[in-house]
Amino acid sequence: MEDLNIRKTGQAGHITFTRPKALNALTHEMALALHSALDEWRDDPQVKLVIIDAEGDRAFCAGGDIAAVYRGGLDGNHQIGRDFFRDEYLMNAAIADYPKPVIAFMQGFVMGGGVGVGGHASHRIVGDTTQIAMPESGIGLIPDVGGTWLLAHAPGRIGEFLATTGGRMGAGDAIHAGFADIYLPEDEWPALIERLEQTGDTGEIATTEAPASPLADRDLSAFGGDTIDDIIAALESRSDDTTLKILRRNSPLSMAAGLAMVRAARSDDRIQDALSREYRFTWRATEMGDFLEGVRAQIIDKDRNPKWSADASPEYVEKMLASLGDDELAWEVEA
């Protein structure tokens, strides 16, 4: 398809994002095509491993292309978003559980939907330009695409911090937080990709010392608070105005739900559990949350002044995460 270059080269299946002018944003059609390629290669003896990379210097994938979801929600057609999120999450789980190695080369912006692709690969390579984030609380959503699963397994309170602030991670932070595995200078990526295609052997991936992680030395104990209000109070006592400014800018409902979801995911047995919980929120997001207003302010009008109105009480968070009944995300059981 036009936005993805999907091919077999040597002993590798190779998928390249090819819409750099749009920061390789992931559309519904791209999610379906990527999933289909993985299914096709699952039992293909020629394909020993899968490589996922992207054209352009600015982004591996800066997120999901949610314009259609936004327009549908405005028109009262919430099914557009529900279909997109469903198929995207099924693809995310397919990457996480893939029986062959998946190597992701993640340069530039890797956000939201980009984390859903690269963040669940078996070999996650980052470089000096890499900036990874789950910034959904700024648009009235929650860290989805399996983001709550990754955040739940980050050390200490990094998960709560990133979920509520949407903070960005460079290569060192990403490896420390468990969003990446390997640092490699980006000028070495083309040669490595060529070797992987030729040999089909992940042993070609060298280990290089990662940059330092500022997050590793940061005191995030304030994010152990039971609620967002508790976290804000702790930050106020430390006069951490920089972090407070971010929290006061983001959607209260998104932060409260994200906090609850990261903590719930720590008890999950598999990524599918976290994705199902995320889907309950995103299934309702265009109808019952702050999502439409957040997208308007940050992406459509770009006035950066969202008027949040959704209830952020514990009772409403519970309502947003309640079972969808017959609309629950359905998982196929592998034979």
With a cut of 50, say whether residue 334 has pLDDT above it: no
The closest alpha carbon to 197, from 18, 8, 4, belongs to 8
**Which domains, from first to last, does the chain contain?**
4-327 (3.90.226.10)
285, 286, 289, 293 alpha-carbon torsion, rounded to 10°:
130
- The span from the CA of 124 to the CA of 76, in Å, is 39
The pLDDT tens digits of the residues spanning 257-293 come to 999 999 999 999 999 999 999 999 999 999 999 999 9
Query: Do residues 107 and 129 make contact, with C-beta atoms less than 8 angstroms apart?
Result: yes
Mean pLDDT of 67-84: 95
Q: CB 227: neighbour CB atoms within 10 A?
A: 14
**Catalytic residue ranges:** 64, 113, 136, 144
pLDDT of residue 76: 95
User: What's the DSSP call for residue 105?
Assistant: E
pLDDT of residue 176: 98
User: What's the DSSP call for residue 296?
Assistant: I
For the chain, what is the largest distance between any 2 Cα atoms, rounded to a whole number of angstroms?
A: 60
pLDDT band at 231, cuts 50/70/90? very high
pLDDT of residue 285: 96
pLDDT of residue 290: 95
pLDDT band at 333, cuts 50/70/90? low
pLDDT band at 146, cuts 50/70/90? very high
Strands (E), 270-309: none
pLDDT band at 335, cuts 50/70/90? very low
- The span from the CA of 115 to the CA of 93, in Å, is 12
The pLDDT tens digits of the residues spanning 198-219 come to 999 999 999 889 999 999 999 9
